[in-house]
């Protein structure tokens, strides 16, 4: 960071007022900082001078072509540090978040997606013209070595970690077939390599493109597959088809396109890209412990499942393995997750979350028939057998808890996957004696049987605390 601040002074003539570290969700070791002052800039600290040089060179070349990429203002002599234009914090991926979650993209989202993918051919064709590909990192061209690197990345970092038995000789035979098919077309275009919504910044409503330092000479299909089949983008098939049509229309401004032939080639690149990303998710998630990569695995497997609805006759053994793989369930690893479950009386107030996370689930049990209205249960609680029997046989408690379990289970599994450490679940009723106590106790037993978690159970109004693992 000190090197970036020195570079800022050299470029601006004064010190930055503040320097803020920015989160990095990329797979590389680059670190990002925002330097605020007379001129706001983004500082990049990289671990590879060659990789940094590739970005600096390609960025300058693209800007010379009038393409929307950040300007690089300056770099250190060793190329390990550089300062670039601050495009803000809004990515296309974040902007379409609601659509990604719901599977429905509004008109503004769709407009941005169409605008973005329609710009891709300009990078691929115009951007390649006059580009010195020897400056690219780590390879100047998409070749057989690149293909086999990525296929083996998938084999060693994902397929083997999934515990799936396979015959390597037969798998390698299909790998060789795929390599030949992918390299049939020797293209002079620029292959962006990591073209996805996360790498598109929105500034004043217009898309700007970042993270192209891994680009090289290669066919156009790879980037289309990267964008439209990005795992967590969750594009519906109808929207994907619309965006593909926009891309082909834009590409025709640069070269003739036979749509049937294009789609036939694209399909192989979609499969290849999904395998490459699964390898990356396996390595970055399971080996490096970066949980946001693990979260993307189910989405990638879903893309793979859809793709395999039509067979790849060229790769029979690979497809056999991949179909088994789509049944793969991510292992839930033990974590330090503590689930605090509380029963309470509404008249005494909803419990506060002391973990600092801002609360969790609060379930209202008052719609369940109240045992407290019956004389024989008034001195008992939801822990006593007569009350338990009444609630299970004479009330709505069982169906209520079935719904609660589904909701809580979904969150517990996500919390375990993401490495979270605290979750609170509260059950409230009129007196905090019967219904809420019973429900809290039942949920605790359910979670202890299903997950390796710590349960901190508190029946607040009964002054009972139980801690179990």
If asked whether residues 141 and 48 sit together in one domain, one would say no
pLDDT in tens, 188-215: 899 999 999 999 999 999 999 999 999 9
pLDDT the model gives residue 278? 94
CA 250/CA 252 separation, integer angstroms: 5
Residues 425 and 277 in one domain: no
Task: Quickly count: other Cβ atoms within 10 Å of residue 42's Cβ.
Answer: 21
For residue 154, what pLDDT is reported? 95
Q: Is the pLDDT of residue 380 over 90?
A: yes
Does residue 56 sit in the same domain as residue 38?
yes
Residue 333 lies in a domain: no
pLDDT, averaged across the chain: 91
Query: Do residues 351 and 207 share a domain?
Result: no
Q: Which residues contact 398 (CB under 8 A, 6 or more apart)?
A: 391, 392
Note whether residue 330 is domain-resident: no
Are residues 224 and 266 in contact, defined by beta-carbon separation less than 8 angstroms?
A: yes
216 and 361 co-located in one domain:
no
DSSP string, 286-355: IIT--HHHHHHHHHHHHHHHHHTTS--TT-HHHHHHHHHHTT----------EEEEEEEEGGG-PPP-TT
Tell me, yes or no, whether 141 and 248 share the same domain.
Answer: yes
Average pLDDT over residues 134-147: 95
Claim to verify: residue 74 and residue 147 sit in the same structural domain: no
| 145 within some domain | yes
Mean of the pLDDT values across residues 150-161? 92
Return the DSSP state at 362.
E
When pLDDT is averaged across residues 362-367 and rounded to a whole number, the result is 96
Residue ranges making up the domain that contains 103: 92-325
Claim to verify: residue 34 and residue 118 sit in the same structural domain: no
What's the confidence (pLDDT) of residue 289?
A: 67
Please compute Rg for the chain using Cα positions.
27
The string of DSSP letters for 141-207 reads: B--HHHHHHHHHHHIIIIITTTT----HHHHHHHHHHHHHHHTSS---SEE-SS-SGGGEEEETTEE
Task: State the pLDDT confidence band at 332, using cuts at 50, 70 and 90.
Answer: very low
Query: How many Å apart are CA 89 and CA 73, to the nearest integer?
Result: 19
Residues 32-46 have pLDDT tens digits of 999 999 999 999 998
Total domains present in the chain: 3
Please state, for a pLDDT cut of 90, what percent of the chain lies above it. Answer: 73
Asked if residue 63 belongs to a domain, the reply is yes
Instruction: For 210-221, write each residue's pLDDT tens digit.
Output: 999 999 999 999
Please state whether beta strands 338-345 and 361-364 pair in parallel, antiparallel, or not at all (unpaired).
Answer: unpaired
Residues 150 and 278 in one domain: yes
Q: Is 333 a residue whose pLDDT tops 50?
A: no
């Amino acid at each position: 960071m000190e090197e970036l601040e020195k570079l800022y002074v050299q470029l601006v003539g004064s010190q930055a007022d503040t320097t803020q570290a920015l989160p990095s969700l990329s797979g590389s070791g680059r670190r990002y900082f925002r330097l605020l002052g007379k001129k706001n800039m983004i500082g990049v600290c990289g671990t590879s001078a060659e990789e940094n040089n590739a970005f600096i060179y390609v960025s300058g070349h693209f800007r010379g072509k009038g393409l929307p990429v950040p300007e690089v203002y300056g770099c250190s002599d060793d190329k390990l540090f550089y300062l670039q234009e601050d495009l803000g914090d809004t990515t296309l991926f974040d902007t379409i978040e609601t659509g990604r979650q719901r599977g429905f993209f509004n008109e503004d989202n769709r407009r941005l997606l169409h605008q973005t993918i329609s710009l891709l051919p300009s990078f691929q064709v115009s951007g390649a013209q006059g580009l010195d590909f020897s400056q690219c990192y780590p390879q100047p061209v998409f070749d057989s070595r690149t293909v086999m690197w990525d296929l083996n990345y998938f084999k060693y970092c994902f397929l083997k970690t999934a515990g799936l038995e396979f015959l390597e000789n037969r798998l390698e035979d299909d790998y060789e077939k795929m390599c030949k098919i992918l390299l049939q077309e020797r293209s002079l275009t620029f292959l962006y390599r990591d073209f996805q919504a996360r790498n598109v910044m929105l500034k004043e409503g217009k898309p700007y493109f970042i993270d192209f330092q891994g680009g090289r000479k290669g066919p156009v299909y790879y980037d289309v597959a990267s964008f439209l089949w990005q795992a967590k983008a969750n594009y519906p098939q109808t929207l994907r088809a619309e965006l593909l049509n926009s891309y082909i229309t834009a590409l025709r401004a640069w070269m003739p396109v036979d749509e049937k032939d294009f789609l036939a080639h694209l399909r192989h690149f979609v499969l290849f890209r999904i395998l490459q990303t699964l390898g990356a998710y396996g390595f970055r998630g399971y080996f490096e412990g970066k949980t946001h990569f693990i979260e993307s695995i189910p989405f990638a497997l879903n893309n793979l499942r859809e793709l395999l609805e039509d067979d790849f006759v060229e790769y029979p053994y690979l497809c056999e393995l991949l179909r088994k793989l789509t049944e793969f369930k991510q292992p839930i690893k033990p974590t330090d997750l503590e689930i605090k479950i509380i029963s309470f009386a509404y008249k005494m107030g909803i419990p506060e979350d002391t973990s600092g996370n801002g609360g969790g689930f609060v379930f209202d049990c008052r719609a369940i028939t109240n045992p407290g209205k019956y004389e024989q249960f008034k001195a008992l609680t939801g822990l006593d057998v007569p009350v338990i029997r009444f609630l299970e046989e004479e009330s709505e408690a069982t169906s209520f808890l079935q719904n609660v379990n589904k909701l809580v289970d979904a969150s517990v599994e996500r919390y375990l996957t993401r490495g979270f450490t605290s979750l609170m679940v509260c059950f409230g009723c009129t007196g905090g004696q019967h219904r809420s106590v019973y429900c809290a106790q039942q949920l605790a037993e359910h979670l202890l049987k299903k997950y390796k978690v710590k349960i901190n159970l508190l029946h607040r109004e009964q002054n009972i605390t139980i801690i179990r693992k």
